[in-house]
Structure 1
Amino acid sequence: MKYSNYTLEILENNDVPQIILLKAFARYAFDSEDISQLADSTYNIDNGMNDVRAIFPPETNSIAFICRYERDIDKVDKLVKGFSLGWCDFCRAVRQQRK
């Protein structure tokens, strides 16, 4: 599985917990009614398809996205950027430098 190029960075003066933003993203991106935490601490967010997962990276106030297929990375990047525009008081899309 590969990380998407963008994460959602939670803004500092935001009172909305990460998990609530993740649920909102899952509904926005995948029309998912709910999310579920998996044994490896990732979250299934794509309505049971298990192609895209989310994770709260340690020591950050952000949400990262992991794609099962490399072909889904661009799609997830666009979804992250689109979501952040509608939720700009709470989070922003940040491009990650991955090796």
Structure 2
Amino acid sequence: MDVLRSIGFFLLAAVAEIGGAWLVWQGVREHRGWLWVLGGVVALGAYGFAATLQSDAHFGRILAAYGGFFVAGSLAWAVVVDGFRPDRWDYLGAALCLAGVAVIMCAPRT
């Protein structure tokens, strides 16, 4: 159950961070306005809180492991929202990052 809970919080963090950055991008680069930017800033703030919900008490470990979710999540966001088509190297890179998450989070600790 801890693994599923942890994955859920990583997914929540990814949606908040990637979504927040995307909203800022849309507000500034696509000239959609400052309300989009403000929404992005709020979402990025929510990302900061999402990491604190993890059961592991080590900030560095959580942030490092989250990086793998960020990489895979960014590619998934690009596919769903922007119509991006990853190639085999994108998939391989994302899989390697997620394997790194598993090593960091699931390794036996003494």
Q: Which is bigger in relative contact order (C-alpha 8 A, separation at least 6)?
A: 1
* Greater strand share, structure number: 1
- Structure-2-length-normalised TM-score: 0.27
Larger CA Rg, structure 1 vs 2: 2
- Structure-1-length-normalised TM-score: 0.29
* Greater helix share, structure number: 2
